Amino acid sequence: MAWRKMRAAGASAAAVLMMAGCAGEGAQDNQQPHQPLKVVGQFELHSLDPSTSGGFFTRLQVAETLVDADPQGVLRPGLATGWDTSPDGLTWAFRLRPDAHFHDGTPVTAASVAAALDTARGKAGTPLSEVPVRAITADGQAVKVALAKPFAPLAAVLAHTSTQILAPSSYTVDRKVTEIVGSGPYRIKRLEQPANIELAAFEQWQGQKPAITEVKYQAVGRSESRALMAESGQSDVTFGMDPTSLQRLKQAGEVDIADVTLPRTILLKVNAGHEILGDVRVRRALSMALDRESMATALLRDPEMAATQLFPPSLPQWHQKSITALSHDPSGARELLARAGWSPGPGGTLERNGKKFTVTLRTFPDRPELPILATAIQAKLKELGIALEVKIGNSSEIPAGHQDGSLELGLYARNYALVPDAMVTLADDFGPDGADHGAMGWNSPALTSTLNTMASGSDTDGSAEGRRQVTEILQSELPVIPVAWYRQSAVVSQRVDGLVLDPLERSWRLTDLTWTK
Amino acid sequence: MTASITTRRAPAAPAARVLRQRAVQAVGVVFLVSTACFAIVQSLPGDIAYRIAAGRYGYDQVTAASADTVRAELGLDRPAWQQLLDWLGDLISLDLGNSLVTGADVAGELGLYFSSSLQLAAAALVLALAVGATGGALAAARPGGALDRITTFWVSGARALPPFLLGLVLILVFSVHLGVLPAAGHGEASNFVLPAATLAVGLSGLFARVTRDAVAQIRQSEYVRFAATKGLGGRLVFLRHVLRNTGVTLIAYVGVQMLILIEGVIVVESLFAWPGLGHALVHAIFWRDIPMIQATAVALALLVVVLNTVVDLGSLAIDPRPRRREVVL
């Protein structure tokens, strides 16, 4: 009897103590917010491979690329201190930073860099795999890249995150990446896929030592949860805010908001080989039907993000201030459609030769603004008598529909500066054969030859004129119809100073942050 | 001859019989569930290679080229029956394979997700039992009394509140306003409190209700009245007779609720960024990560078998009354 009583009392006491322990720990966390820096974002880490990890480790400054870029997209030294090109443009030499070390303590050698690049080159779909490379070799403390034909934007391609340089100890014998051993200012302390990464400052880093020596990254899927973490002070830097939460946090005024316009455009990919959409007048009419300002104001909560052309102001070399802006003009759209032979049928839907104007738009929910923009577009086109069916599925349905020719319209966001020189992405997207995330059934010999001249590097003086021509052709022919630009915001707690967002999304620049005094 | 049969039907047999039956059941369940999963995924619309490529490379980089690489690497061109046989063959050798999207070992990934979900469910269960069973037992002491009415109100309130809303309210109160607990996340002990409490509130209502009814009923039973008549004190009657008999009802009920709990934590996991089974399953289905879907479904199915076994054994232990006629004979 007495034993039973004691056992019951013991169990209750243990339960109470456990709960008290949990609560105590929470309170303690809150009192010591300064160690480590807590970063929260929507991105989950599903793979360590540089070609698929979406630039996680360059953003966290764990791994470096040979070439870096400043916020304007101008190339600058990364792991390479400089580079030279042979007069014929076929051989490039990248000189490595002397005394650079990997996080496992081994020196960064030209041989290990060449091996990492060779592995990157073998991955399908990466920008480096598209470059006409003959061989990548080590030459003393330099890495030599031999090309089959001149390719001016090579240095920009070597700034793409898929070309990050990892130590030989990162790879297995068959070149699979099993751990991330980079050469950047932070090293991985603990990594738990898919949601947790812990970093510590790398002692042998030669550059300026980061003021914040420990960082914890946590992936949180729901934007409401991220907003609450920012609001409660649990996170110091929070990425991926939805427009409504952002507006609420701004109004509350207890956190700082950093933002930057990205070189990312939300656009409608149009099948220009389609019997209805092949007519440029119809594409222009679709563009005029869109009320971009209202969509940006009501749905993105940011009127400045209404696209007036394909390239946002954050791509200053490509954005043309003087170009005629795309604008909302329903009566102009009706006129163009009438000229293309479309007239309202009995049910209000436009008809031509007894065939109704019915098209399907595919999009996906990974970027939460896309489905709501799709329904806004649907409503606007309905006013013109166009029946638009919206299908929300998986992001892969757009490239799949491109390949089998079944895609009519696709709505997605395209980043033109994943390689800092937008030319690389544009040459692929608007080449003669089109591309999964570019033109479909559309070809402009003038645009192709302009891009080819720029890629070969033979016309450096005329680049500005070339870029103007490219923008103008795209604006008038509309193989893709720009809808909105994109602003990235981060919520920063008042414990932290110095966050400046990188429009190229290459780095979160955590090394520049300091604790508020 | 007769003697040997009698020996085989000795009282130790029930537990062994339960284990034997459940083991056969487990093998059948694994085979059926994994085959059904495979068939369902194969019949879903869309090209699997493209879906996997979207999972691997992200929406910025999913292209026909990356889908072709995936197809070639994973041998997705092979006939479906061959792929299924490969999986079943690997399963027999206890190899769950590698994720088609992340390339990681499925057993390792599953272990992580499974243990986080189990930990969360267990914490919620302990909390719910502590609050619910105690509340129910106290309420049954005076049916119709103030505590009984408060419990009824609590039960209806807790059941009417969706976990998502309750979770948000708890975060707003304890994280945003009071600042004593983390809003979301995983990895520290304090991260347990809010998601476990969110799950426990709804459950505790149910437990309170079931305990209250069982206790009230048992208090009215003849054996309890006899125990009181023969002079046992109230506390002793409760501990020796009421508690044990309530346990029989409650264990079976908790078993069922535990299953619902583990399979139903998806919303709470998503709100609190908890890397659990719900998270794993949703991603795996979205990406058509067949080995991961199969392994997760098999693990969930086996969990049902294991929990049923534990409930059976638990009930046997506290209620050793014979269940089969031959033992009585």
Least confident of A65-69, A253-257, B142-146: B142-146
Render A302-361 in DSSP notation, one character per residue.
-GGGB-SSSS-TTSTTT--TTSPPP---HHHHHHHHHHTT-EE-TTSSEEETTEE-EEEE
Please report the pLDDT score of residue B137 as a whole number. Answer: 84
B143 has a pLDDT exceeding 50: yes
Tokens (6 digits) for B176: 């945003």
Distance of residue B156 Cα from the nearest chain A Cα, in angstroms: 26
Q: Does B54 touch chain A (CB under 8 A)?
A: yes
**Are residues B273 and A393, on separate chains, in Cβ contact within 8 Å?**
no
Contact list, B182 vs chain A (CB under 8 Å): 26, 29, 229, 232, 234
Q: Which of B55, B63, B190 sits opposite A25 (nearest CB)?
A: B190
Contact list, A128 vs chain B (CB under 8 Å): none
**A160, A54 contact by CB (below 8 A):** no
For the segment A326-351, the average pLDDT, to the nearest whole number, is 92
Tokens (6 digits) for A45: 């880490």
User: What is the residue-averaged pLDDT of chain A?
Assistant: 87
**Are residues A46 and B56, on separate chains, in Cβ contact within 8 Å?**
yes
* H-run or E-run covering A84: strand A80-85
**Are residues A52 and B47, on separate chains, in Cβ contact within 8 Å?**
no
For the segment A198-217, the average pLDDT, to the nearest whole number, is 92
A254 has a pLDDT exceeding 80: yes
For the stretch B250-291, pLDDT in tens is 888 888 888 777 766 778 888 888 888 888 888 888 888 888
**B107, B295 contact by CB (below 8 A):** yes
Q: Which residue from A163, A181, A160, A109 is spatially nearest to A138, judged by alpha carbons? A: A109
Please report the pLDDT score of residue B264 as a whole number. Answer: 64
> What are the DSSP E strand ranges found in A140-253?
142-147, 186-192, 196-201, 214-219, 237-239
Confidence of residue B145 (pLDDT cuts 50, 70, 90): confident
Query: For the whole prediction, is pTM greater than 0.90?
Result: no
Please report the pLDDT score of residue A26 as a whole number. Answer: 39
Residue A464, burial from CB neighbour count under 10 angstroms (0-12, 13-18, 19+):
exposed
Confidence of residue A78 (pLDDT cuts 50, 70, 90): very high
**B74, B100 contact by CB (below 8 A):** yes
B151 has a pLDDT exceeding 50: yes
Confidence of residue A28 (pLDDT cuts 50, 70, 90): very low
Render A370-432 in DSSP notation, one character per residue.
HHHHHHHHHHHHHHHT-EEEEEE--TTHHHHHHHHT--SEEEEEEETTSSSSHHHHHHHHTST
- CA contacts within 13 A on the Cβ side of B319: 17
For the stretch B87-113, pLDDT in tens is 888 888 878 888 888 778 888 888 888
Tokens (6 digits) for B130: 């502590």
Q: Which residue from A371, A125, A310 is spatially nearest to B60, judged by alpha carbons? A: A125
Pairing state between β A387-392 and A409-415: unpaired
Interface of B with A in 61-120 (CB under 8 A): 61-69, 101-104, 109, 112
Q: Which residue from A415, A406, A221 is spatially nearest to A311, judged by alpha carbons? A: A415
A16 has a pLDDT exceeding 80: no
Cα–Cα distance measured from residue A466 to residue A452, given in angstroms and rounded to the nearest whole number:
10
> What are the DSSP E strand ranges found in A249-317?
256-270
**Are residues A367 and B47, on separate chains, in Cβ contact within 8 Å?**
no
For the segment A427-446, the average pLDDT, to the nearest whole number, is 90
CA-based nearest residue in chain A for residue B236: A1
CA-based nearest residue in chain A for residue B169: A228
Q: Which residue from A27, A79, A29 is spatially nearest to A58, judged by alpha carbons? A: A79
For the segment B165-181, the average pLDDT, to the nearest whole number, is 89
Q: What is the dihedral of CA B157, B163, B169, B172, to 10 degrees?
A: 160
For the segment A181-202, the average pLDDT, to the nearest whole number, is 91
3-state secondary structure of B130: helix
Please report the pLDDT score of residue B323 as a whole number. Answer: 61
Q: Does B154 touch chain A (CB under 8 A)?
A: no
Please report the pLDDT score of residue A301 as a whole number. Answer: 87
**Are residues A54 and B60, on separate chains, in Cβ contact within 8 Å?**
yes
Tokens (6 digits) for A4: 């039973």
For the stretch B13-24, pLDDT in tens is 777 888 888 888
**Are residues A232 and B182, on separate chains, in Cβ contact within 8 Å?**
yes
Contact list, B275 vs chain A (CB under 8 Å): 194-195
**A46, B102 contact by CB (below 8 A):** yes
Please report the pLDDT score of residue B1 as a whole number. Answer: 39
Q: Which of A366, A418, A435 sits opposite B59 (nearest CB)?
A: A366
B226 has a pLDDT exceeding 80: yes
Residue A465, burial from CB neighbour count under 10 angstroms (0-12, 13-18, 19+):
exposed
A22 has a pLDDT exceeding 80: no
Q: Which residue from B113, B65, B58, B283 is spatially nearest to A50, judged by alpha carbons? A: B58
Contact list, A239 vs chain B (CB under 8 Å): none
Please report the pLDDT score of residue B263 as a whole number. Answer: 63
Neighbour order of strands in the sheet with A256-270: A186-192, A196-201, A214-219, A37-41, A237-239, A480-492, A256-270, A409-415, A358-363, A387-392
**Are residues B62 and A29, on separate chains, in Cβ contact within 8 Å?**
no
- Total beta-carbon pairs less than 8 A apart between chain A and chain B: 160
For the stretch B185-214, pLDDT in tens is 887 888 889 999 988 888 888 888 888 888
Q: Which residue from A281, A290, A385 is spatially nearest to A328, judged by alpha carbons? A: A290
Q: What percent of chain A has pLDDT over 70?
A: 92
**Are residues B67 and A400, on separate chains, in Cβ contact within 8 Å?**
yes
Amino acid in the structure at residue B267: V
**Rg (Cα) of chain B, in Å, rounded?**
25
Please report the pLDDT score of residue A491 as a whole number. Answer: 93
Report which of residues B92 and A28 the model is more confident about.
Answer: B92
Report which of residues B19 and A290 the model is more confident about.
Answer: A290
A18 has a pLDDT exceeding 80: no
A17 has a pLDDT exceeding 50: no
A59 has a pLDDT exceeding 70: yes
Please report the pLDDT score of residue B185 as a whole number. Answer: 83
CA-based nearest residue in chain B for residue A130: B65
Tokens (6 digits) for B247: 């346990």
Q: Which of A19, A221, A396 sits opposite B273 (nearest CB)?
A: A221
Amino acid in the structure at residue B10: A
3-state secondary structure of B32: helix
